[in-house]
């Protein structure tokens, strides 16, 4: 029913992921595993031995959305672009975006061109990261809004995007399918098998889209949060992962080349920020024995609000996550689900990703939009911020392989 509930649903989630491509390495752990890498064959016919991600010998270019107040009121929205390998890394901000960029999905055929989507709203555009030019803007489906993330098919011909039905107040999830060249909507859409969909990762050589559905308010038992594995040809749900804890939503995900998945969560709508239940979570899915287990550690009391961004280093299976409201960065052992280390020296840490060489976690934090590197082996911060002002104040940062 329209009203307060609908407005709260609109606020429920803040999240990110990026589609991998052969020429653009997705080093953000909250992003999509490349569909053409080993380990993405269907469960019933895996034909490859996963070799893990290919690492380059450089840090990469960090990209993300942000906003700054304008003189006279309002905000100016940017995309921040910084070459981390420069002698003195400095941001190259692109203005005129018009909304806070959330998801950044590179085109398969032109990996320097990305689709930038709003986390829940009408904002969507195609941006050339090399020239800094906005190429075109795209509208959501009739009666719907964008919900943050998207993926391109492996052949680059289709663009899949999570949207939600807002006109009828249901916030039912829709997987919208568009022609990647014209951006025209296909007549047929698919359900996301939940409400308030958000993150998505394309696997199985492009046959399956893994989608998070945030769920409705905490008192709506018929609108649970979860992760759906959706057949993009039929719209059928191949698998549904459900939380044992009904007080958390499904936010961002990251996956390995073997299909191991990590999902971070915020408290469900309707939970007051004064409640002990107003805390985030991190959940690990082990496909080998079909286990979906939420970490149980005393540090969850400090994981205030949402657990926002997530990254995994596949070589060591170390997972990093941020909690902005708790001023907290945590690192976890995927195999055991145990906490390895926590860092509380950063104000409002938001995005976390891996550099192209896999040697560092890069976190964006503070109102000044610093970027600081964390050694991925020792989990020790590397001194002062590498970038003082990145213009990345949104939920994520993404590290891309782009020409300097």
Q: What is the pLDDT of residue 13?
A: 27
pLDDT at 161: 97
pLDDT tens for 308-326 read 999 999 999 999 999 999 9
Instruction: Give the separation between CA 311 and CA 305, rounded to whole angstroms.
Output: 19
Contacts of 298 (CB under 8 A, 6+ apart): none
Q: What is the pLDDT of residues 86-106, one digit of tens each?
A: 999 999 999 999 999 999 999
User: Which residues, other chains included, contact 227 with Cβ-Cβ below 8 Å and sequence gap of 6+?
Assistant: 210, 211, 212, 213, 240, 241, 250, 253, 261, 263, 285, 292
pLDDT of residue 403: 74
Domain membership of residue 8 (yes or no) is no
pLDDT score, position 404: 60
Total number of domains in the chain: 1
d(Cα 256, Cα 254) in Å, to the nearest integer?
Answer: 7
Strands 253-255 and 318-323: unpaired
In a domain, 48, yes or no: no
Tens of pLDDT along 362-396? 999 999 999 999 999 999 999 999 999 999 999 99
What predicted TM-score, i.e. pTM, was given to this entire model? Answer: 0.88
Contact 64, 97 (CB under 8 A): no
Look at residue 47 and tell me if it is in a domain: no
Residue 292 counted as domain residue: yes
Q: What is the pLDDT of residue 280?
A: 98
Q: Is residue 120 part of a domain?
A: yes
pLDDT at 36: 29
What average pLDDT does this structure show over 256-263? 97
Instruction: Reduce the DSSP state of residue 4 to 3 states and report it.
Output: helix
Map tokens 């489906």 to a residue: 141
Which tokens in the block code for residue 289? 């024995």
Confidence of residue 54 (pLDDT cuts 50, 70, 90): confident
Give pLDDT tens digits for 272-287: 999 999 999 999 999 9
In a domain, 359, yes or no: yes
- Per-residue tokens: 328: 């907290």
pLDDT given for residue 102 in this prediction:
98
Domain assignment present for 369: yes
Q: What pLDDT sits at residue 375?
A: 98
DSSP character string of 122-168 = S-EEEEETTTTEEEEE-PPPTTEEEEEEEEE-TTSSEEEEEEEE-TT
The one-character DSSP state at 185 is B
Burial of 14 (0-12, 13-18, 19+ CB in 10 A): buried
Mean pLDDT of 136-163: 97
- In the three-class reduction of DSSP (H, G, I as helix; E, B as strand; rest coil), residue 190 is classed as strand
Q: How far apart are CA 58 and CA 54, in angstroms?
A: 12
Q: What percent of the chain has pLDDT over 70?
A: 87
Per-residue pLDDT for 39 more than 50? no
Q: Count CB neighbours of 331 within 10 A.
A: 20
Which pair of structure tokens corresponds to residue 27? 């080093």
Measured between alpha carbons, how far is 399 from 59 in angstroms, rounded to an integer?
Answer: 8
Q: CATH no. for residue 341?
A: 2.130.10.10
Interacting residues of 196 by C-beta distance below 8 A, sequence separation 6+: 9, 12, 13, 147, 164, 171, 173, 213, 214, 215, 216, 249
Distance CA(28)–CA(33), nearest Å, equals 10
Whether residue 184 has pLDDT greater than 80: yes
What's the confidence (pLDDT) of residue 144? 97
Where in the sequence is the domain holding 207, given as residue range(s)?
15-41+53-400
HSE value, Cβ hemisphere, 13 Å, CA-based, for 369: 24
Closest CA to 61 of 87, 81, 80, 34: 81
What whole-number distance in Å separates Cα of residue 371 and Cα of residue 61?
A: 12
Candidates 293, 288, 294, 212; CA nearest to 254 is: 212
Q: 4 in a domain, yes or no? A: no
């Amino acid at each position: 029913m329209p009203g307060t509930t609908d407005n709260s649903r609109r606020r429920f989630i803040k999240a990110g992921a990026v589609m991998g491509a052969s020429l653009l390495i997705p080093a953000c752990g909250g992003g999509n595993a490349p569909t053409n890498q080993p380990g993405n064959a269907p469960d019933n016919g895996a034909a490859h031995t996963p070799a893990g991600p290919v690492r380059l010998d450089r840090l990469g270019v960090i990209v993300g959305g942000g906003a700054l107040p304008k003189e006279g009121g309002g905000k100016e929205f940017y995309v921040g672009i910084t070459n981390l390998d420069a002698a003195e890394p400095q941001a190259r901000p692109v203005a005129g975006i018009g909304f806070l960029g959330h998801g950044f999905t590179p085109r398969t055929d032109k990996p320097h061109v990305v689709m930038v989507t709003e986390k829940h709203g009408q904002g969507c555009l195609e941006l050339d990261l090399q020239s800094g030019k906005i190429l075109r803007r795209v509208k959501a489906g009739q009666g719907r809004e964008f919900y943050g993330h998207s993926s391109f098919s492996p052949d680059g011909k289709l663009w899949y995007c999570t949207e939600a039905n807002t006109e009828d107040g249901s916030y039912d999830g829709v997987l919208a399918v568009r022609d990647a060249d014209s951006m025209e909507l296909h007549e047929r859409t698919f359900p996301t098998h939940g409400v308030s969909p958000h993150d998505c990762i394309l696997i199985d050589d492009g046959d399956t889209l893994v989608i998070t559905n945030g769920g409705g308010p905490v008192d709506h038992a018929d609108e649970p949060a979860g992760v759906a594995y959706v057949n993009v040809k039929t719209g059928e749900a191949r698998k549904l992962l459900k939380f044992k804890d009904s007080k958390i939503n499904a936010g961002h995900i990251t996956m390995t080349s073997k299909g191991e998945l990590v999902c971070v969560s915020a408290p469900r709508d309707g939970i007051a920020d004064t409640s002990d239940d107003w805390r985030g979570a991190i959940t690990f899915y082990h496909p080998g024995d079909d286990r979906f287990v939420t970490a149980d550690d005393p540090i969850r009391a400090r994981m205030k609000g949402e657990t926002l961004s997530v990254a995994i280093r596949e070589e060591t299976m170390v997972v990093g996550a941020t909690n902005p409201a708790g001023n907290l960065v945590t690192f976890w052992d995927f195999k055991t689900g145990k906490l390895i280390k926590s860092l509380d020296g950063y104000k409002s840490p938001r995005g976390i990703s891996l550099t192209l060489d896999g040697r560092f976690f890069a976190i964006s934090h503070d109102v000044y939009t610093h970027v600081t590197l964390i050694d991925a082996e020792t989990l020790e911060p590397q001194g002062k911020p590498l970038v003082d002002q990145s213009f990345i104040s949104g939920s994520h940062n993404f590290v891309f392989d782009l020409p300097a």
